[in-house]
Amino acid sequence: MFDIDRWQEIFETIRKNKLRTFLTGLSVASGIFILVVLLGFGRGMENGIRKEFEKDASNRISVWTQTTTKEFKGLNPGRRIQMKNDNFDHIDASYFDQLEYKSAIFRVPWGTTTNYKNESVSYAISGVYPNYQMIENQLMVEGRYIDQMDLDQRNKVVVISKKIKEELLKNVEDPLEEYLQISGINFRVIGVYSDVGGDREENNLFVPFTTAQGVFNGADRVNNLTYTLKPEKNFEAAVKASNIFAAEIKQYLQEVHKVAPDDNSAINVFNMLDEAKRFYTLTDNIAFFFWFVGICTIIAGVVGVSNIMLIIVKERTREIGIRKALGAKPWSIVGMILQEAIFVTAVSGFAGLILSMGLLEIVGPNVEVDYVLNPSVNLSIAVTMVFVLVIAGAFAGFFPAWRAASIQPIEALRDE
């Protein structure tokens, strides 16, 4: 039942102790404010890291080679390791049932010119397999991607990016069936792609792998191998499977190319899932730290409420004694103190929540920091934390209230 007299009494007490009430509320509000902001930036880091990994397939495994740094089986260090088509075919045959997507890559030497009518530019050009579209997370805007027939027939076709279309074919409404001259050889445009990674990933032209090797004197050389494995039942199983696969293909390439097992420079394998696990573990640890700091701040606020309630009880000891002498029940005294504690805690908690959510809503979309994207927090979690704080505030006020209810009237009336 709504008791207007009690509320008037609470507001009168607050009015008489404005500064004390303000400082108590400030400690509670700052606790919620700090917790929500920290959780928001924790979510922002998670969003930013996830976006970084979305640029390519999140379970991508890439292989490339450099020079040896150690002598092995009578061979001197400094040898350039060159992968071949046989290496790609062997891995494909050995792990056929595990592979989801696969592609060998032949990179056309940098500096090869690309011409369209009177325009002449230099783009990165790569010979790839059809699966490369899924591995690189490319979306077709127009036309199609390279297919198996292009590989088999060594078709002189090229897939360009949306960015290249706007730069090189700026006045062409339909780029399909147009021809680009790459190193003086005509290639027909069959598709336009966009990349989740943005403009930086769109400075590339793609041609069939077999065509690139044949036209640009690649023989059977391979610059990179790239794979994704079939999905596993959970993240941990996927990481384990990818680590085993990465280790086994590295061992195979070391044996074939006579590279020392402890030479970590000659054969390089990058496992994106393993890297993702490191980042996600880091974000989990940061989130745990943020929760710890925020909760400690809230506890400090609750302790402040408890201390203030103790002071209030001490100041009102004589008044409480008079109430009890006039017949006030113990739970009436407890309810009076508790109601004030809950009111101060609730108002302060929701004020901190509104301020922090407003800050994240205004500042979040404009944050431009590496690995931080759109800091935000789940509203239900934030509101739950406020209610937990209110409950904690009730507990903080209960013990001083119980102490007040336990005072004997005669002792209270003697208090000065």
* CA 221 vs CA 10, 104, 197, 393: distances in Å: 83, 10, 28, 71
- Higher pLDDT among residues 117 and 196, named by residue: 117
Is the domain of 35 the same as that of 125? no
Tell me: pLDDT of 257 over 90.
yes
Mean pLDDT, residues 268-281: 78
Q: Which percentage of the chain shows pLDDT scores above 90?
A: 32
Is the domain of 395 the same as that of 373? yes
Mean pLDDT, residues 222-236: 88
pLDDT of residue 155: 95
- Helix/strand/coil (H, E, C) string of 170-201? CCCCCCCCCEEEECCEEEEEEEEEEECCCHHH
Is the domain of 76 the same as that of 144? yes
DSSP 272: H
Q: Which of 26-35, 163-172, 324-333 has the lowest mean pLDDT?
A: 324-333
Is the domain of 235 the same as that of 291? no
* CA 301 vs CA 192, 312, 389: distances in Å: 58, 16, 9
pLDDT of residue 359: 82
Tell me: pLDDT of 93 over 90.
yes
Task: Indicate the burial class of 414 (C-beta count within 10 angstroms; 0-12, 13-18, 19 or more).
Answer: exposed
pLDDT of residue 316: 65
Q: Confidence band (pLDDT; 50, 70, 90) for 290? A: confident
Helices (H) and strands (E) in the chain, counts: 13, 14
Domain total of the chain = 2
pLDDT of residue 57: 53
Tell me: pLDDT of 52 over 70.
no
Of 272, 296, 319, the residue that ends a domain is 272
Of 272, 307, 337, the residue that ends a domain is 272
Closest CA to 105 of 137, 68, 130: 130
| CA–CA separation, 27 and 10 (whole Å) | 20
Question: Which residue in the block uniquely carries the two structure tokens 């004694």?
Answer: 321
Is the domain of 46 the same as that of 152? no
Tell me: pLDDT of 133 over 60.
yes
pLDDT of residue 213: 95
Show the domain range for 222: 60-272
Is the domain of 150 the same as that of 287? no
| CA–CA separation, 41 and 81 (whole Å) | 44
pLDDT of residue 141: 92
Is the domain of 66 the same as that of 129? yes
Is the domain of 46 the same as that of 161? no
Is the domain of 114 the same as that of 26? no
pLDDT of residue 154: 95
Is the domain of 316 the same as that of 198? no
Structure tokens at 261: 């097992």
Of 217, 251, 272, the residue that ends a domain is 272
Tell me: pLDDT of 286 over 80.
no
| CA–CA separation, 252 and 361 (whole Å) | 52
- Higher pLDDT among residues 16 and 240, named by residue: 240
Length of the chain: 416
- Helix/strand/coil (H, E, C) string of 93-112? HHCCCCEEEEEEEEECCCCC
Tell me: pLDDT of 100 over 80.
yes
Is the domain of 262 the same as that of 283? no
Is the domain of 300 the same as that of 378? yes
pLDDT of residue 384: 78
pLDDT of residue 318: 67
- pLDDT tens-digit readout, 334-391: 677 777 777 877 888 888 888 888 888 887 777 666 666 677 777 777 777 777 777 7
Q: Which percentage of the chain shows pLDDT scores above 70?
A: 81
DSSP 68: -
Tell me: pLDDT of 117 over 90.
no
